[in-house]
Structure 1
Amino acid sequence: MKNDLHNRRFERRAQRAYAVFACLVAVLTLTVMHAMAADDPLAVVDNLSEFVFSLIRAIGLILLGWGIVQVGLSFQSHDPSQRSNGFLTLAGGIVITFTKEILTLITG
């Protein structure tokens, strides 16, 4: 009985790990941006800047998804500390996702 329970827990953890890995691969595959080489040095810097901001956006989307999962699990388990951590992660994911737009609003 105990061994059967252990196997079910292991299978659930393995399924969760596989789902997270599959989502990570999908996000990294779908957010690929080709950097085009250019003769103008400013164009090269702009391409690098776009690439870095796309990486930051991908990280923000991952955090956004993780925050949604944490908030959902907190409602299921009625855990207020997990709920607050989930909302903080959600807010951080939103800020990180829209970093480029926030910086352009600040600098004008």
Structure 2
Amino acid sequence: MKLFKKETKKNKETHSLPMGKKSRRIFVVYAAMVLTLCCGATTAFAAGDPLTVINNLSEFIFGLIRAGGMILLGFGIVQIGLSLKSHDPSQRANGFLTLAEGVVITFAKEILTLITG
């Protein structure tokens, strides 16, 4: 028993969407800026000491982790604010947990240096 009929067309035609002169120019400028910022601006300089390279990579990775922690901090604050407005205790608990996670992730490098000495 077939529930759905599969229609097949032999001659499917595709048409590009019309793009005006102004929108095409804006798209070209946008694409050029993205390529310039992403591809042209990334220059890697080799350091003489391999330990310096590892330290720079570590700083970069911890910077990314810190950015994620800051996002979680902001989201936790928003959740707490919304829970206070709606008087929802479960959302308030989730907000405080998200806030605590954001603090731990934001200060992960400092916590690790305190643990290792």
Q: Same fold (TM over 0.5)?
A: yes
Query: Compared with structure 1, are the counterparts of its residues 96 and 74 closer, same or farther at alpha carbon in structure 2 (3 Å cutoff)?
Result: same
Name stretches of at least 5 consecutive residues in structure 1 with no aligned partner.
1-33
Report the equivalent of 2:57: 48
Report the equivalent of 1:61: 70
For residues 52-90 of structure 1, the C-alpha deviation after alignment (integer angstroms, 9 at most, x for no partner) is: 000000000000000000000000000000000000000
- Whichever of the two has the greater Rg, that structure is 2
Measured in 2, the distance between the counterparts of 1:89 and 1:35 equals 36
How much is the aligned-residue C-alpha RMSD, in angstroms?
Answer: 1.6
Measured in 1, the distance between the counterparts of 2:84 and 2:116 equals 39
Task: Please state which structure has a larger fraction of its residues in helix.
Answer: 1
Name stretches of at least 5 consecutive residues in structure 2 with no aligned partner.
1-42
Query: Compared with structure 1, are the counterparts of its residues 103 and 75 closer, same or farther at alpha carbon in structure 2 (3 Å cutoff)?
Result: same
Any runs of at least 4 consecutive aligned residues in structure 1 with deviations exceeding 6 A, and if so which?
Answer: none
For residues 37-56 of structure 1, the C-alpha deviation after alignment (integer angstroms, 9 at most, x for no partner) is: 41211100000000000000
Query: Compared with structure 1, are the counterparts of its residues 81 and 51 closer, same or farther at alpha carbon in structure 2 (3 Å cutoff)?
Result: same
Structure 2 residue 102 is matched with structure 1 residue 93: yes
Q: 1:74 aligns with which of 79, 83, 88?
A: 83
For 2:84, give the aligned amino acid: F
TM-score by length of 1: 0.66
Measured in 2, the distance between the counterparts of 1:87 and 1:41 equals 42
For 1:90, give the aligned amino acid: L
Between the aligned residues of both structures, percent identity stands at 76
